[in-house]
Amino acid sequence: MKPDYWDRAVRQLSQRDPVLHGLINAYPQYHLRRRSNAFTALARAIVGQQISVKAADAVWRRFVTAADPGQAEVDFPEVAPTLVVALTPDALRSAGLSQRKAEYMHDLARRFADGALNPAEWKTLDDEALIEALVAVKGIGRWTAEMFLMFHELRADVFPIADLGLQKSIRLHYAGDDVLSLEEMRALAESWRPYRSVATWYLWRSLDPLPVEY
């Protein structure tokens, strides 16, 4: 489902910024949308750290099979945190997770299972407060938290400035590939508020037309 702010955001960004106007017109059929529940999205992010997309998909399938065999053949499987808590470290490693990622996964699952991370409460948190709650989990850094806010929580004004793809696209479109400092990029993005997530998403499309879903 399209975020309720999306059409309003593309109108305003198109009016304010000629570059975004062109990118928005180039990709009219796409928009942000979520694909899974909160725990599954974060668990999959941990699985995918520092390995290829193909390898991450294979490990994810083995992980799902270990946690909930009934979900193994589902196109977009979702895993319950209580089932992950019940898995032994050996079972997680047998699924292809490293020792460290197995620890991360157990920490994440425990926090969901005991309510320390409760998605029902997140609507009351602003972006920075939710990022702070997420980075308290082992294995989740700021970039992963920002991706989660954008792609799962559908927050409208996230600006993941540390993302190398975003930096590359900003330089390409606004500086002729010249160097821009992070401060200059942040200043440029001020005109995109309160829809920096949308601007970022279209800038990514200029590098990779096929959108990612979480």
Instruction: Give the CA angle between residues 178, 180, 184 to the nearest 5°.
Output: 145
For 47-58, b/e burial (b = at least 16 CB within 10 A) is bbeeeeeeebee
Nearest CA among 207, 175, 211, 208 for reference residue 6: 211
Task: Give 101-143 as a 3 state SS string.
Answer: HHHHHHHHHHHHHCCCCCHHHHHHCCHHHHHHHHHCCCCCCHH
Q: At what angle do helices 18-26 and 196-205 cross, to 10 degrees?
A: 60
Contacts for 29 with CB less than 8 Å, ≥ 6 apart: none
Positions marked catalytic: 163
In angstroms, what is the C-alpha Rg of the chain?
18
Locate 52 and state its tokens.
């290829």
